[in-house]
Structure formats: structure tokens, C-alpha cells
Structure 1
Amino acid sequence: MGADRPDGPARTIVVAATPTSNGDLHVGHMAGPYLAGDVYSRYLRATGREVIYTTCTDDSQTYVVSTAHRLRTTPDALCARSTAAIERSLRAMGIEMSGLPPIDERYRRGVLRFVTDLHEAGRLERRTVRMPYATKAGTWLYDGLVTGTCPTCLAGGCGGGCEACGHPNSFDELLEPGSTVDPQDPVEHRELEIWVLPMEVYRERLVEYFAERRATWRPRSIRLIDELLAGPLPDVPVTVPGTWGIPSPLPGTEGHVLYPWIEAMPAVMYATWHAAGGPGDGGTTDDLWRAEAGAELVYFHGFDNVYHWGLMDLVLLMAHGDRYVVPAANIANEFYDLAGDKFSTSRNHLIWSADLLARVPRDQVRCYLALTAPEFQRTTFDEAALLDVTARRLVEPWNALADAVALARLEAGTAPLATTAVGRRRSELMRQRFHDCYALPGFSMGRAAETVLTHLARLHALAGSGRLDRGDLMLEVRTLLAGAAPILVDAAAQAAADGVELALTGDQPERITPFDLPRLAVPAAARSAQEVAS
């Protein structure tokens, strides 16, 4: 990695896991792929990289059906309401996307073309499989429609994949299956024919791929990949019997839909096309993912999606030959707990992102979530800790430093200030440290947030002692602000509007124009406490 910018292609496509449109995003969701992908994308832009950061709602998931049943609404109405709520929450958190694309006819054409190309190329095969069947309702059960016991780790959960160990459990693997819609409905296994994509065919390419990219994967995620590659790789269902989703175009599958997870890759290709403004009426929605486009592809998702996003979706791309780029990195987070247990919409054990942001300023929320995000192991969200930590370590020293910078600017006037060799060296060390936190393969929001707070404490102490030349103070504070900008988006936006240069590139200047450091807002709860104390 160079001093000015990370090596790499001119364009990077950053994809956050597609949110299921069966509800809003809670804090556990937000602290995972959505904030991390935003921080990484903002960092790349600060180094001069062109970035498309995108996702789209996963409307075809069976969790939409089961949740709609529980809420006594229709899947269509739930999708519409959830998509609007998700978009509002992303915007409220300052997630820098162009907006969620509509799941429309163009979307469906892209998905169908992706699948029919595989069929016409002979990549898909017919299989007789056994699947759970709800005898009273007369419906086949898969993914969010079926609950049971994981055959690998014996944890309880739904079909498709185990949240606890990450292993897949399609078809009849789930032990003691039951219907999530009607737990009293007897369930038995029945045989039927579907189309599948045989994953084992791609073993050699998969082994080579993971050998080359192990350094970009987090330890638990790559361990799961190793576990999956150690045994026979499963067949990926392409069609399943059902009524919710995109009707199957493949022969002999009347009454079937495309398996929801098959949509993920063409869905985010379409989302990328939409985020780029839908270029080229004569082109297709997958143009920017074509190998000849030369883009770098980076995924952000949770550990429970390592099998899907890390392995199954990779095979879906490989099955198209050399047509598409494959991901350079998969950044997977663990679960974020609340009061010692995972966030859960169904149990109402959660804090909605929008509700938290109504109580606490966005920069403080982003800083605390970045600092405590479950990157390598489960961590716990605590709103009282958020208020305490951000008050002591962020808001109070930041605003005191802003006062010191304002005083220095007042004393210096508008003329550029000279910087010293020592100050320039410290500023460069800071910048390199931020690069090390944000760049692949060691990307870590937690280390980046801790680096912001560490240098903030240092500069606050130096400014208070008067041992820092005014020019060096301005230079190092500007570097701090640039390094914090991917996290503290409101402070960065105000500084940029005031003309402060926040790029993480370029030489350390010998002279710097004085500027003001934007102050951070105090949460309403903290202001009330201060008023009572006074």
C-alpha cells in the first residue's frame, strides 16, 4: 500500500448483504454490513477511488411470507412498507447509497436471464430430492417456512442455513422439521424433481480461489469455508415448489419459483446498474460486473451468510465461465447482542436504528457502533455505555479541541501557518495508521474508531498544554478530521463545506490555512442532565 492511496482498480463495487423486506433495520443490522460497507466506501473515495456502494431488498425470501402471516398482512404490503422503512433508516444513519432500486420488471428480466443462461449452457441438472411437506396445508417447506434442528451443531433454527454454525441445511437435512406458519401442521418428507446447480463441479476452482484470498477473510469465516470444502459440496436448489417469488422459467417446473438465494447475484448486479444511473439503454444490467469492466468487488455481510455470499454465490458467478468478476474480499461480521442475547425482530428484542438516532446525534451513534461492532466475535450494544463512552472519549475532548483550534485561528488570523518537520512527520504517521485501519486486507471499523479516539486524546492534551505550534496543530487536526471522516460524517460534511481538504492523499504541506474544527452536538438526554446539575 502506498502513502497516497491503496493499490487497485479505478472502480470498486461494494455490496452490503441484501436486506429481507420483512421489517425495518434494527441496530444489530446497522452495526454489521451497512455501516461497515459505508465506512469502507467513504475511505476509498477519500483516496481518489471511484466507488459504487449498493444493495437492494430481498423481496422473494420466504421470511416475507412467514412474517406477513404473523402480522396478518399480505407479503406485497409488507414488502412495500419494509422497503420504505429500510431506505429511511439507511438515510438516517448516513449510509451513502443512491437509494434502493425498485424490484420491477427490469429486475425480474435480469434474474431470469442470469438463470436461463446457466440452463442453456448445461450448468443445471434435474434432481429428485426430498423436502419437508406440511400435510394439512399442502405446502412444501424451505428456508423461513420450516424450523427444526441443525444437523451439524444441533442448534435450533430455520431452513437454508444455520445461524449458529453457518452450515447449510437444504432439502431434508433439518432435523425435526416443523412449519413456522402453523406449528400444529404435521410435516413429512416427500420426493419431487427440481433443478439444481451441482457445487461439487467447481471444487478445483473454489480451492484455488480461497487459497489466493485467505488473507482477506476473517478467521471464523475462513474456518467455515474450510469445513465446507472438507466434505462433499451440496447441490444448490435453483427451483423450489412455491407461490411467492419469481415463477420458474425452466422446463418441468410448473408451480415452482426460483429459489430465493439464486436471485442474490443478478439482484446486486441490477442494483449496481441502478446506482450508476442505469447507463446504456442498449446494454444489460450486468455490464458493470463483466470481467472486462475490470471492477474490484467487495462484499459485506454477516457470518450467517458466509455459506450463501461466500460460497454459493461464488459458484453462481463461476458457473457463467469467465463472464463475471469474482469478489476480491468478503468481510463478515458476527452477531451484535442486546442485553446478552441476539437482536430479534420476532421476539421484539431490539432497538430500531431510527429510534436510536432520534435520541442520539448520528456521529456519536456511528462512532460507538464502529467502536463496538462485532467484527471477530459477538459484542453487546448498550445505550448507557454509548452515551458515557461518546461523552467522555469523543464529544468532550473533541469540543475542547475545537475551542483550542478556534483560539489558534483567532490569534493567527487568515494567513497560512508554517508547519514543522516534526509536525509533518506526526501527521504522516497518523495518515498511515488510518490507511492501515481502513484498507484491505485488515479493514477494521473498530481499530479506525479507536485510532480516532486515541489521536483525539493526544491532540487534546497537547493543545491544552500549549506545546504544539499553531501550524502543527492545524495540520494534525486536519489529518484527524480526514481520518475520522468515514465515521463522523456530519462533522466531515461541515468541514468540507467550510473548505477544509479531507482527502487522505497528497504530501504533508509546509504551510496550512487556519480553519475551524466543527463542534459535535450533545445528545438531548445529556443536555437535560447538565441543565438539572446546573
Structure 2
Amino acid sequence: MERMLVIAPGPTANGDLHLGHLAGPFLSADVCARFARAAGRDVLFGTGVHFTQNYIVTTARRLGVPPDELRTRSAEQVEGTLAAVGIEPDGFVRFDERYVTGVQQFFGRLHDAGKLKLRSLPFPYVARTGEYLTDAYVRGTCPVCLSEGCAGLCESCGHWIASGDLLEPRSTLNPDDEVELREAQVLVLPLEEYREALTEYFAGLAGTMRPRLARMAEELLSRPLPDYPVTLPIAWGIPAPFPKVPEVEGQVIYADSEVIAWSMHSSALAAEQRGEKPAGDDALWFAESGARVVYFFGSDAGFAFGLVGVAMLMALGGYTLPAHFVTNEFYELDNDKFSTSRGHVVTGRGLAAEVPRDLIRFYLAATAPDFQRTNFSRAAMDKVVSARLVAPWNRVADKAGRFAGGGPLPVSARSREAAARTVERFSAGYDARRFSLTDAAFTLTEQLGRLDRWEVTAADAGDFCHEVDVFLRCAAPLLVDLAAKALPDLAVPAVSSVTEVAPRVLPRLAEIAQ
């Protein structure tokens, strides 16, 4: 049986998850993994938190807490919020000695294989403090799309912006400091060496990539690819493990370059949670294992995972390359960007304290930013969930309950055909190749509406109860609590062999408290 490694890359450990995080990669990865398991596939779902970005330092400074305290607290918050909305990864990455060692060994292998080169690159530099500025430490204008932001991955266009390429750079640590460009020697992965292989790889994914990732890949491969730094001349991060390269002594591994080592670690933790004992963090990623890797992440992470990560796997050789990248756009709150610093935020944990999580999952799926920016509004959620989910489901449950306890009822060939089409339509939205939360939510709404309109009689009660059962099994990846209460198991059935059904009392959904 083919194994699927589902990965939702961890957020920066500088705070809790808000709905913008959840509506994108985390809910999508959870739903995809749940349906694949219900369909009989072997799935390992890994996520966690990323602990080494220097955004942790800048946030900690703003909050007046030690960075180590912030990242530990944030990991606990993220794990608790995922549980609050029913997102259940098999493996959750935490910052510990094993992770540090794994990252260092991964880059040690790249260096020993001769894939990392020593290069002199320009960085913004503050003479007053003797500090180089990278990523969260420096802000300016993106030279590709002219958006305002920090160095690193541009949220607007998705391109990676080298710190030295940022236009009009200024320090975020001390905005009054004078900033100059100064060269520093670092180890890099020369991405241009992998142009031909990357071009062929992305051509193979062209039919499944969402528009912004496809555009970014096309733009990047139309020009020289950069020397991507693997080490940085800053203090925050995992110490660079290259004793034979004195030029990078005291430097750290670039946090954004850890993506593959982090992903392999998440897969290994997921397998261990299931009782397996992989022969190393990378064991599940070897090509001969036959595993299929599926990533879920925001479009702004495409460069790190899609280009750099794949190039690293190509450089080492012998590893499977990701089969699918499922990306998403930004999710807004009341038509404005989520902002913790401005207090414009709704956390998943906070909403789950007021609203049943099945209702949250349904609404986030219905408004998911699969292809463009979408918006969360509490008033809209209350209205939509009540009209499209709670009220129709409760009417369906009441109709089915009228036939409970009366013994098995026959199921017709027509009903088996209808049930097969239902499974097919849900599967189209859940399958990783064309995955879409909004499509799955639309199918749920349409099929529930069909059942709600059904004028059930004694003659077709068996067909109705059968199709309600199939609907619930297909809706289970979204409506996790309802399905757990209503069904003896969550397997997607082989409907062609069903000849009778035993009606049962079904639970109702609670209305959102006004």
C-alpha cells in the first residue's frame, strides 16, 4: 500500500495560531490526511513549529520576554490550538537536541558531498553594533514587486529576497542606525547548478500547481538562480557544523534552509508516534520506500520548499521528490490582514471556546483561500453555518431517526449508484492532486441540500438512510465530531455491495449561541 507523507510546515514560534493559519495549510493537511486514511491509504501527517527564525527575536524584544521563553510558549499554544479545532497530526516537531543534531548532520552531508560553496555575499550592516542584518532584522522594499517588507521570503510575490538585495534597507532592531552594505563569506547552495533538473521537475507539476506558485516558478526559472545562503553571520540559530571551513566559524544555519531537514524530522516523529522505528529521520524519504510526499503551505513559502528544498534533495540524490504542493493565499479578518501587534486577530482556540469545532471547520473550508484572498467575518459565519449546515443537517437527522429501531431496510441499485457518485464528488476535492477545501465544502453543502429536500416515504427509506450514511462518511474529514458520534467507523464504503441498511438515531448539530 502506497504511503503518503503529508506535511504542513510549522509556523514561526512567535505566537499562537490565528484563523488565517488554520484556514490555509493546517486544516487542508488534516482533511486530506483524514480522507486518505478513510479510503484505506497509509498516511503520516507531520507538522510542528519552526524555532530558529529571527522573527522570534524581534517579537520577543517587542513583548519584553526572552526568545527561548517565547518559542517554548508558542509551541505549546500552537499544539493546543490545533487540538482545539480537531487538527490531529501524527508527529509534531519541537525544538530539542535531536532536532539540532539532525539539521547539522543534514548540512554536513551536503557539505561532505561538495554541494555547498564558499561565497562572498553583501549584507546590510550596522557599524555601530557590528551586526549584520538578515530577514526580520532588516526591512525595506522588495526589488521584484516593490512591496514593503522584511528580507527573506516576500509575502506579496513569493520570491526570496536576499538581505543585500533589499531596496532602502533599514534596521528593525534600531531604526535610527545607519545601514551600509558589507560583504561576508558564507556557505551557499548554488541553485543555478540545478536549473535544468528544476525546470524538468516543475514542468511535470505544471498541471497541478496553483496559479501563484506556477507563476513564481516560471519567473524564477526565466532568470539566473541565486546562490542561496546556508549559513548566516548572525547569532540566533543552530550553530554551523563546518569546523573545516574557518570562514564561517561562529555563523548559524539559515533558518529558511532547514525546510527539508525539518520535514524529514516531522515524518520520522509521525512514524514513531504510530509505533514504527525508522532507521533515521530521512529513512521514509528514500526513493525506494515508495512514499509520496504532499506539502501544504502558504504561497509565500513556495521558494523555500519548492525550489530550495527540491534542489537540496536533488543535490544529495536518492530521495523522493515532493509529488504535490498544495498552496493557499492569505485569509483576512473583516477585510483586513490579521495582525497580532494591532490586536486585529481571532485565534483558533478563542473561537473554539465559543463555537463547536465542526462548525468552525466547515466555515473555514467554505471560505478557504485556495486560489485568492478570502475573508472571515463572525457575522457571516453565524449566518452561513446556520443556513447551510446546522438547520439542514438537523432536518435530515430527524427524518432518518423516524426509521430507527425498525430493522434493516433494503437499498436499491439506484441508491448505490447515487452513493457512488457522492463518493466520487467528495474524492475529487479531497485528493491531493486537485485538493480544494472550498470544493469539498461546496460538495458537502450540495449533497446535504439534496438529502434535506428528499421527501422520504416507507418505500425509499432504506435508500435515504443509506445515502445519509455515505454522506456522513464523506463529510467526516470536515465534520469530525459529528461523524465520531454517528458512525461506528469512518471507512469510505464500497457502495457497490450494499443491499440493506440498519437505520439509527443520528446526533443533531448545536446552533451557534447568539
Q: Is the pair's TM-score, using the shorter chain for normalization, greater than 0.5?
A: yes
Once the two structures are superposed, residues 51-73 of structure 1 have per-residue CA deviations (whole angstroms, 9 ceiling, x without a partner) of 11011211000100110111111
Residue 446 (structure 2) pairs with residue 451 (structure 1): no
- Is the Cα contact below 8 Å between 2:326 and 2:432 reproduced in 1? no
Q: Is the alpha carbon distance of 1:467 and 1:308 closer, same or farther for their aligned partners in structure 2, counting shifts above 3 Å?
A: farther
Residue 132 (structure 2) pairs with residue 160 (structure 1): no
| Residue aligning to 2:269 | 274
| Residue aligning to 1:143 | 135
| Residue aligning to 1:319 | 315
CA distance in 2, matches of 1:521, 1:130: 58
Question: Which of residues 491, 501, 504 in structure 2 aligns to 1:512?
Answer: 501
Q: Is the alpha carbon distance of 1:501 and 1:196 closer, same or farther for their aligned partners in structure 2, counting shifts above 3 Å?
A: closer
| Residue aligning to 2:474 | 483
The residue correspondences of 1:177-196 to structure 2 (distance < 5 A) are: 177-196=169-188
CA distance in 2, matches of 1:506, 1:173: 58
Residue 305 (structure 2) pairs with residue 309 (structure 1): yes
- Structure 2 alignment gaps of length 5 or more: none
Once the two structures are superposed, residues 296-339 of structure 1 have per-residue CA deviations (whole angstroms, 9 ceiling, x without a partner) of 000000011111111111111111122x1110000000000112
Number of corresponding residues? 510
Once the two structures are superposed, residues 135-181 of structure 1 have per-residue CA deviations (whole angstroms, 9 ceiling, x without a partner) of 33321111111111000111101111211111111131100111112
SS at match of 1:409: coil
296-305 or 452-461, larger mean C-alpha shift? 452-461
- Is the Cα contact below 8 Å between 1:395 and 1:521 reproduced in 2? yes
Q: Is the alpha carbon distance of 1:197 and 1:495 closer, same or farther for their aligned partners in structure 2, counting shifts above 3 Å?
A: same
| Residue aligning to 2:423 | 431
| Residue aligning to 1:16 | 8
CA distance in 1, matches of 2:416, 2:434: 25
TM-score for both structures, normalised by structure 1: 0.93
2:320 aligned partner, one-letter code: V
CA distance in 1, matches of 2:9, 2:307: 14
Question: Which of residues 352, 356, 360 in structure 1 aligns to 2:355?
Answer: 360
Residue 374 (structure 2) pairs with residue 385 (structure 1): no
2:339 aligned partner, one-letter code: S
- Is the Cα contact below 8 Å between 1:36 and 1:300 reproduced in 2? yes
2:290 aligned partner, one-letter code: G
Once the two structures are superposed, residues 1-57 of structure 1 have per-residue CA deviations (whole angstroms, 9 ceiling, x without a partner) of xxxxxxxx5210000022110000000000010000001001100110011101121
CA distance in 1, matches of 2:12, 2:196: 32
Question: Which of residues 294, 298, 323 in structure 1 aligns to 2:290?
Answer: 294
| Residue aligning to 1:38 | 30
TM-score for both structures, normalised by structure 2: 0.96
CA distance in 2, matches of 1:377, 1:281: 41
CA distance in 1, matches of 2:299, 2:439: 20
CA distance in 1, matches of 2:28, 2:493: 18
1:510 aligned partner, one-letter code: T
Q: Is the alpha carbon distance of 1:14 and 1:500 closer, same or farther for their aligned partners in structure 2, counting shifts above 3 Å?
A: closer
CA distance in 2, matches of 1:503, 1:512: 15
- Structure 1 alignment gaps of length 5 or more: 1-8, 526-534
- Is the Cα contact below 8 Å between 1:133 and 1:189 reproduced in 2? yes
2:395 aligned partner, one-letter code: A
CA distance in 2, matches of 1:437, 1:172: 42
Question: Which of residues 57, 71, 74 in structure 1 aligns to 2:49?
Answer: 57
CA distance in 2, matches of 1:75, 1:362: 32
SS at match of 1:122: coil
SS at match of 1:96: coil
CA distance in 1, matches of 2:41, 2:491: 14
1:191 aligned partner, one-letter code: E
CA distance in 2, matches of 1:462, 1:468: 13
The residue correspondences of 1:79-478 to structure 2 (distance < 5 A) are: 79-98=71-90, 100-250=92-242, 251-252=245-246, 253-277=248-272, 283-322=279-318, 324-410=319-405, 413=406, 415-463=407-455, 466=457, 469-478=460-469
